[in-house]
Amino acid sequence: MSRAYVALGDSYAAGVGAGRREPGPYRTDAGYPLAVARATGLDLAYQAVLGATCADVLRDQVGAVGAQTQLVTVTVGGNDAGFVPVLLSVARPGWAGSSDRAIDEALGVISGVLPGRLREVLRAVRGRAPDARVVVIGYPHLFNGVSDCSWITSVSVHEMRRLGDAADRLAETILGVASDEGCEGVDVRAPFDGHQICDSDPWVHGLSWPTQESYHPTAAGHAAYARAVSALAVPVEAEVMAGVAPPQVEHGACVGTAPTFALRDVMTGRAMRRPPLQAPA
């Protein structure tokens, strides 16, 4: 039996980094779909999970959408673009290798491959629930473009700017496909401005423990996601959403196949061996 609201996607929809991990596949008790369910009063089929790609959503998650579904939210595409490999490449010190190649590869996927994959997901949703409201949500900028305040990572200003450009390309691609497929798009870049990693009030984790939470929204970040999505469905304040018990929630059993962040991938032997300083000529 299909639920009235189905939340599809990856770790950014699964609430990774925002709350307590639920039993089973990696999602938490504080992901934005739970707040949206409270705001709308719709029973939720919570399918989003850490590591999901567009292929995972098609294979394991879209089946929860059906004739009774009224609302579908979709946040996916970051793993297809190489979210983890790119962030690993920029988190390592510069002497451990350049991140430009990983970012270039991600940009190529975003422009050349992701539109077709995302279009396939949205058409599958439309095919199962042609009258449902389909809302596609993107990703924020992670870094403020000024400095990396972590004592472990070493993200340069150049890398932050390149990541910002990639985030813009990703957002524009996701919003463009959503519009082309007759879906509503939500751009979260502006709400997160001033709340990036190393800002005074960050809504995104830097390198964290457990490491899977690294570079994911905090509880405040998910509240911002929920406000943006709920504004389309029902005008309600975050304080109201937080104080109302959620409708019935059914958790999906799928697992994502994309790689996840691990500290050992940053603290490699090569990364930890700083090259000797060169004597001045």
Closest CA to 81 of 31, 121, 139: 139
Structural contact between residues 26 and 33, judged by C-beta atoms closer than 8 angstroms: no
Q: Is 216 a catalytic residue?
A: yes
Q: Is 251 a catalytic residue?
A: no
CB atoms within 10 A of CB 225: 29
Structural contact between residues 31 and 48, judged by C-beta atoms closer than 8 angstroms: yes
- Find the radius of gyration of the CA atoms of the chain: 19
CA distance 90 to 85: 9
Q: Given its phi and psi angles, is residue 194 left (phi above 0), alpha (psi -120 to 50 degrees) or beta? A: left
Closest CA to 40 of 252, 251, 246, 250: 246
SS3 74: strand
Tell me the three-class secondary structure of 218-235, residue by residue.
CHHHHHHHHHHHHHHHCC
Cα-Cα-Cα-Cα dihedral sign, residues 73, 79, 83, 88: positive
Output the CA torsion 111→185→84→107 (10° steps).
Answer: 20
Query: From the candidates 2, 11, 89, 214, which is the catalytic residue?
Result: 11
Number of helices (H), then strands (E), belonging to the chain: the values are 12, 6
CA distance 207 to 22: 22
Query: From the candidates 141, 205, 216, 222, which is the catalytic residue?
Result: 216
Tell me the backbone φ, ψ of residue 258, rounded to 5 degrees: -75, 155
DSSP H or E segment with residue 4: none
Residues noted as catalytic:
11, 216
